[in-house]
Structure 1
């Protein structure tokens, strides 16, 4: 027996012991403590994907200052509930569709409405609830722009959909710019020019941009075609048929995701985040307490927008203050149960009034007026329309409307409810996009809102920061800010 043979058992034991130690260490690393600040659709999707990636042994604490759902919430009027935040979803919103299916929630189709575009004096366009009639009217008013729009939207959605394949492959991006470029370099470029300029370059007419695109932007974001081109393009993507919402309210999605992810939900206000070595100390105030509480985490995901009207979070111990501030645009939604002043809009009968009134003139007192649908199917007709005997209209405006101003728009007002909030960023083509990664293991999910703010982009941002945290935690550098070889790195138009 050689000396080497005599040494084999001890060596084997040593190797095996080392293997066990490595396994034990990895198991320890697989269970980081994660804090998510914000319980809207972004924070809820981040919680869902963090649980999916890190496993059941990971501690996930979620902090929400007001109510789960964030900007997804409902308002009750005359015993019926209406969505008062994010209202309509696109048929190609894959994450929201998958969440709804996973949570076994029913959906409601948005159909049967009639579009009108008002310039302050008259309707420059009035559509139809019949698709063929609607198409013929669009072609008569806007000509080839209608065909061009279809190609534009399909091309946009095709490139946008690339993010789903990339995220399925575990790819993550440290910046919003990087995420947009991964879908298409053109997307990032569009954030540096106005929607008007981008669509003019694409061949759309001035009339089409002013009326149809401008009207959609005023309704969706309360802003004009001067906003950056990417968010303007996302806004007009809603022109496709098949729009939908969640039965009972879209807020049921974040509520269900948080419950499904089995997180520790804290109804509390986070006041401070302190960098202490490789961990983060989160200080918060519970709603029923005046004494602050501190807790240490390995990963922190900020999933609430920091704007001029938000609660301030103080950062301590960082080499430089993390860049999170966004200038948000004020949105006032006035819910009126009553009868519109049809004479103001040049109509003879209430039935002739469009159910969705967009404006092509940004100087009016309102941004849009829309007949609302209760979130419960039982209050809708079989064709998706609502009973006009007790109608509820939502009026979007830049500022709160006085009783005198509402009196111009309605002949009868049975009730009035107002939701006044900072709903979306103020979009400028000169705005620099923010990063998702603020520090080693601290992330700002809502940076994606400077590209475009909607339920689906928030869900995409939630999955991105979860993947980013996971890849950083386990040192998977090849899946951070890199395109997989299978794509050939080919993302150009």
Structure 2
């Protein structure tokens, strides 16, 4: 009897189990506790330079291949990674090379199956408008002796300073590998080098180097020439910008076979991004019951259009003349841009160099492939460089100085006929590109803050990082940071954002 009584009771309990489970879930259902959000359906990236193409790749890595990414580009894919054609050969007219420590760019090359271009050796010199003040030789020890003879140990102090900055900067790759992100540029810099890195964005490179005992003569002769060749600006540019540039000036540079722009087109093709060749005119906010939506308005071949997105990434300068973007319905309104972009003119000249202008009457004796100009009032160029084509054959050699070659001349304004005749005995062709290449750092004045990364809940600004330092790798670092930041904020992973003392944290975790 007892056994028969127990069995029906047990069956009754098992039949009641689904109901009991439902009762247990009712409080949670009634409180409306949300589950994890769905990933974004559509993302817009504005700009298809290295920043835009890199962030497209990193966004897909984070959110998965199902997310649709539209990339808007008003000009050309690649941005400042660009080439020009001379006599059926392509030559770099934008960013010519990358540093060996640029790990994101190195990864892109491997990922896309690209190759490093064969290095073609060449020597450099610095010109003061009348004479060559420093000449590189084929002998490393002789070069060191000349630097010591002219400038004492200033070059050693410079090297130690740059190496210290780069060693700390390299921490960013470990942070990003562990998916940590930063909501401000200052926060990112502070995580790498403390307040010192942030202060370097507010103090000039000239002041920074004087502070470590580099002589004024070395700054005037060498540092000013490197800054002019790199950014077309003086040693008044911020110290952090200068340190990044000087790291490149110390060698270990490389380029991509076929052109550096292949990274951009390759990443967009790899991600199957939808590239829309149109000029974005406005971004407007639309609030729905559940979330923000952003409408991107654009002009394409005279026709106006728009589309809606969950996230928008601005990978083009907000204040670049000629491409203004209006923001509608955003509260609070966006801060004023820090300043304009600096104009640099690139002239690709196919011709015979006038070596006598640099003190070599016999052109056969001219040994240099590049000349940097000191920052003098009468300087007609920033730098002058003999270019190799982007496809370098195995047996390629630079042309002898007495033969016509392709030269890249950087200057503040287009060269007039007299200036061209000063630099070249004769020439077959001149192609000119005017770039708004870099921020006009002097225009920022004594501003104590860098541009924001988060403009609105789902609106991010990638290109503001250029006010801290401008290079292809800095754009790639910023792209990875924005992708991680957008992902972590979307899914509420606050423990991965703006963490303090990350170096110690990662050491204890590992």
1:430 to 2:446 alignment:
yes
Residue equivalent to 2:429: 415
1:207 to 2:222 alignment:
no
Q: Within 2, Cα distance between the matches of 1:306 and 1:110?
A: 36
Task: From 256, 263, 267, give the equivalent of 1:253.
Answer: 263
Task: From 410, 420, 437, give the equivalent of 1:406.
Answer: 420
SS at match of 2:446: coil
1:51 to 2:60 alignment:
yes
1:459 to 2:493 alignment:
no
SS at match of 1:279: strand
Q: Within 2, Cα distance between the matches of 1:324 and 1:41?
A: 25
Q: Within 1, Cα distance between the matches of 2:76 and 2:430?
A: 23
Residue equivalent to 2:489: 472
Task: From 446, 470, 483, give the equivalent of 2:500.
Answer: 483
- Unaligned 5+ segments in structure 1 are none
Task: From 263, 267, 283, give the equivalent of 1:273.
Answer: 283
1:125 to 2:134 alignment:
yes
Residue equivalent to 2:5: none
Q: Within 2, Cα distance between the matches of 1:156 and 1:405?
A: 39
Task: From 320, 338, 343, give the equivalent of 2:356.
Answer: 343
Q: Within 1, Cα distance between the matches of 2:223 and 2:113?
A: 35
RMSD: 2.6
Checking the alignment, whether the CA contact within 8 Å between 1:381 and 1:387 is kept in structure 2 is: no
Checking the alignment, whether the CA contact within 8 Å between 2:44 and 2:313 is kept in structure 1 is: yes
Residue equivalent to 1:332: 345
Checking the alignment, whether the CA contact within 8 Å between 1:65 and 1:269 is kept in structure 2 is: yes
Question: Structure 1 residues 226, 380: CA separation in 2 closer, same or farther (over 3 Å shift)?
Answer: farther
The Cα shift of 1:19 comes to 11
Q: Within 2, Cα distance between the matches of 1:263 and 1:84?
A: 26
1:286-305 maps to which residues of 2 (within 5 A)?
286-287=300-301, 290-305=302-317
Q: Within 2, Cα distance between the matches of 1:76 and 1:18?
A: 69
| TM-score, L = length of structure 2 | 0.89
Q: Within 1, Cα distance between the matches of 2:140 and 2:335?
A: 47
Checking the alignment, whether the CA contact within 8 Å between 1:281 and 1:296 is kept in structure 2 is: yes
1:63 to 2:72 alignment:
yes
1:362 to 2:379 alignment:
no
1:175 to 2:187 alignment:
no
The Cα shift of 1:14 comes to 7.0
Residue equivalent to 1:219: 229
Checking the alignment, whether the CA contact within 8 Å between 1:425 and 1:449 is kept in structure 2 is: yes
Checking the alignment, whether the CA contact within 8 Å between 1:112 and 1:129 is kept in structure 2 is: no
Q: Within 2, Cα distance between the matches of 1:461 and 1:249?
A: 22
1:372 to 2:387 alignment:
yes
Task: From 15, 18, 30, give the equivalent of 1:9.
Answer: 18
Question: Structure 1 residues 142, 439: CA separation in 2 closer, same or farther (over 3 Å shift)?
Answer: same
Q: Within 2, Cα distance between the matches of 1:463 and 1:17?
A: 42
Q: Within 2, Cα distance between the matches of 1:400 and 1:37?
A: 29
Question: Structure 1 residues 75, 324: CA separation in 2 closer, same or farther (over 3 Å shift)?
Answer: farther
Residue equivalent to 2:198: 188
Q: Within 1, Cα distance between the matches of 2:330 and 2:438?
A: 28
Checking the alignment, whether the CA contact within 8 Å between 1:74 and 1:84 is kept in structure 2 is: yes
Give CA-to-partner distance per residue, 1:235-261, whole Å, 9 cap, x none.
111133321101111000011011111
The Cα shift of 1:12 comes to 3.7
Checking the alignment, whether the CA contact within 8 Å between 1:171 and 1:479 is kept in structure 2 is: yes
Checking the alignment, whether the CA contact within 8 Å between 2:175 and 2:502 is kept in structure 1 is: no
- Unaligned 5+ segments in structure 2 are 1-8
The Cα shift of 1:141 comes to 2.2
Q: Within 1, Cα distance between the matches of 2:480 and 2:176?
A: 8
The Cα shift of 1:357 comes to 0.8
Question: Structure 1 residues 181, 362: CA separation in 2 closer, same or farther (over 3 Å shift)?
Answer: farther
Checking the alignment, whether the CA contact within 8 Å between 1:324 and 1:434 is kept in structure 2 is: no
CA radius of gyration, larger in:
2
Q: Within 1, Cα distance between the matches of 2:239 and 2:142?
A: 30
1:441 to 2:492 alignment:
no
Give CA-to-partner distance per residue, 1:343-381, whole Å, 9 cap, x none.
221113334242211122332121111111211112863
